[in-house]
Structure 1
């Protein structure tokens, strides 16, 4: 792929294998933020008057990228805010299926509200495990991450379509924080009823912005709950009193959501197909070479479908060695987590392998 070091200057100094923890700031995003604050500086409330038009553009940009009607896109500061808001509108007597050791923002939000909960194991037989628990427990909702944050195990989208076909009443709520921005995705054609994501990772949009996508029928599902936050909408909100308005109380941040649109514009400039192909090619090579070294868990090695996130065996000594050699990664679970984005290269992988 093309050289992205100019767009992401940090790549000039480090081998950055840590997008699963935090995406990078691009030159485009820095330029937008400088212009934004200058316009605010000299415009004051005149600048503020243009905010609603900006938010409409952001919703459209998100909807276009992920295959969702803009009027069913909610702008939230992060996944956790949107997901907790969603759960407040769901009848707490419902039974929810979770994945054991899924991201705490998913599991804890459900467990802390008194829902009846059942669990499926995350291993090489993930899809079979889910199908078995759904058949046995008959949950009303399945809440899960599309890609697991610790080891990168990715759920099969074709399995989700079959699961939905066999269980049409089962609602699927997905966290796409470790997924959105890595490949082309059509929400409307997917099995999901709700998809939420924070945008500071694979979308490289900076902090303080995220989104939720909804299928049309979710308006009835959520509004049936005891959910009154929509009454907090301001008089100038474009979605005052609407379903989407329930997820956007108060004022939205023009800097952060403008950053989200700028990040999506860069993705469109690069091309989501090129991004997807680059990530998959590098992830395939990385999985093969890391498997040869025997540093991956069997649950990852034995699965055909995987993301570009890997957790390798390694202690603090190895982690510090990698950091000393300017390889940025994270300690997660019992090992060291590595993540490869479209701006990474096989040279980055070879540098890693050399240190291992």
Structure 2
């Protein structure tokens, strides 16, 4: 386990249970960033002559990690940029299915554009609710988070794959920000049409980088309008044509996307199966303990597979008490959100539990 914590010095300072808010910076990513900017300092445009090569490499790393051909990988600064660009390419007469109280960066951009919208309730019957609304409302698009940011409710990839088979004409657009990096994910086998993800959380790539994965059939269903000189640097420009470039209008930041490349190297080095095993260990143990302590909402208790994000009962006083003990969590919804990644340990869970039991508020 100590090897999984290597290179994350913040773990020596805090009991860090807050990846759902922000991932960590690994020393290897920091080393790349320092060397990159030093090279830029002394080389300027000579460094940038390799921009296409760098971005091509990152595109291929993303494609390899999540099984998507590199010419269907878009590099974007964050989820919101990619999602808003996608929405601008949809006809305003289309109907979109959303999850009620999903991440605001999904629901707000849809609602602000006055698409026809319908909603499925997030509760213990989430999957049944989605199927029911799909049958009744017959939307053109379904935009959703794979993992809910407030309480960690998770839609399994197996469910989504079957759902796409049952509703093949609906375009599935998934936010993978709270999911990718926690377990193995095969995009091409998933049936999802578009996955968009920021990478500063569970992939630990820092801020200012993200990506989009497109299936082979999406191009004729979306007409993005963004254009810019310098779009789509690297070997996949001629191969993909203009579609992918419209999600990358202008010159890309090799510092930030190079950081994503370094973070993906670390995932490959550790092994996604190792990461998945440790995340599963932590989430199962945490759910058992939180259930015994009566800290979880009924929706989570009544569902099966869950993510490693939990919203536990507690207010501002408990939050401040935990912070005084250098235990880092977030205030979200009506409680405190705690989240466990592969570098977290059972001992850290014990530290949290002991602090909650000792709290006199």
Could you tell me the TM-score, scaled by structure 1's length?
0.97
2:153 corresponds to 1:153: yes
Q: Which is worse superposed, 151-160 or 174-183?
A: 151-160
Distance 1:273 1:335 in 2: 31
- In structure 1, runs of 5+ residues without a counterpart are none
Distance 1:5 1:161 in 2: 34
Could you tell me the TM-score, scaled by structure 2's length?
0.95
Partner of 1:174: 174
Distance 1:6 1:343 in 2: 8
**Residue 156 (structure 1) shift:** 2.0
The 3-state SS of whatever aligns with 1:247 is coil
Partner of 1:340: 340
Give runs of aligned pairs for residues 1-356 of structure 1, distance below 5 A: 1-223=1-223, 227-230=224-227, 232-234=228-230, 237-238=233-234, 239=237, 242-356=242-356
Is the CA contact (8 Å cut-off) linking 1:233 and 1:245 kept in structure 2?
no
Distance 1:243 1:82 in 2: 13
Is the CA contact (8 Å cut-off) linking 2:146 and 2:179 kept in structure 1?
yes
**Residue 235 (structure 1) shift:** 7.6
Distance 1:171 1:228 in 2: 19
Q: Tell me the C-alpha RMSD between the 2 structures.
A: 1.2
CA displacement 1:218-238 (0-9 Å, x = unmatched): 111113xxx4323x2338844
- In structure 2, runs of 5+ residues without a counterpart are 357-361
Distance 1:284 1:197 in 2: 25
CA displacement 1:80-121 (0-9 Å, x = unmatched): 000000011111111110000000110011111111000000
**Residue 342 (structure 1) shift:** 0.2
Distance 2:258 2:233 in 1: 17
Is the CA contact (8 Å cut-off) linking 1:127 and 1:156 kept in structure 2?
no
Is the CA contact (8 Å cut-off) linking 1:193 and 1:215 kept in structure 2?
yes
Distance 1:65 1:5 in 2: 21
Distance 1:4 1:99 in 2: 35
1:236–1:16: structure 2 CA closer, same or farther, 3 Å change rule?
closer
